Amino acid sequence: MKRVLVVGAGIHGLVTAAREHIAKNQVFIVEKRKRIGGRGTSEESFGHQLEHGPHLLLKGGELHKMVKKLSKVKPSLRPLRPNKILVVGHGILYPVNNPKEMLNLKMGRDQVRENALRLISGWGQDIPERRKALLKGRLCVVGEGWAGLIGRLASTLEEVGVPIQTGMKITESYEGGVVTSKGLKIEADEVRMCDGAPVGDAIKVATLDVVLDNR
């Protein structure tokens, strides 16, 4: 059994901690903010739920599988219907009842709709697998919000004895542990940096959805 310190209690950090626990390691999480979740948070405004950070969850993707595995309650997902999304000034994103417009879209001749597809599926990037997922209804809005998913992950970790310490900023790392801003040394066999800082291998992030691959 290894002592693993996870730095960052966002989606990446919580899932990393869950994986390490499943691997029978002793895990401890530290977060510099006073709240957990990182960019994956939600808030209500004038009766509407607003999401910060990632917005759409890929059904059947890695994060979805992890949440289903850890949580006793199935997450509520509402798939986006491309034939219900209106592109302002141009019409329905996926014009299923108009063969000519469908042909233009498939041939890449309809730049307005193509830009809308890229924006929704890949935040402006051309990510073919996510574009395909959107058109097949596999990109979903999380019914409980991202704060709900974060809560599921955090409560599951606490139930199995993985502590999460907030308000603890790491200022230095060394072989065998880290040092906090208050001078406290935390020893660990391995340190996983999941705080969003450009350290080590890049975390794969598919914009509106999060694809976690820390291997």
Delimit the domains of the chain by residue range: 3-56+145-193, 81-136
Are 138 and 58 a contacting pair, CB within 8 Å?
yes
Q: Return the CATH architecture of domain 3-56+145-193.
A: 3-Layer(bba) Sandwich (3.50)
Q: Which amino acid is at 201?
A: D
Cα 140 to Cα 176: distance, rounded to the nearest angstrom: 41
User: Do the beta carbons of residue 150 and residue 15 sit within 8 Å?
Assistant: no
Q: How many helices (H) and strands (E) does the chain have?
A: 6, 14
pLDDT digit string (tens) for the chain, length 215 residues: 999 999 999 888 998 999 999 999 999 999 999 989 887 777 777 887 777 766 788 898 888 888 888 877 888 899 989 888 888 888 899 888 889 998 988 888 999 998 888 888 887 788 888 888 998 989 998 888 888 888 888 999 999 999 999 999 999 988 899 999 889 999 999 999 888 665 444 333 333 343 333 33
Tokens of 23: 């691997």
Q: What is the DSSP-derived secondary structure letter of residue 60?
A: T
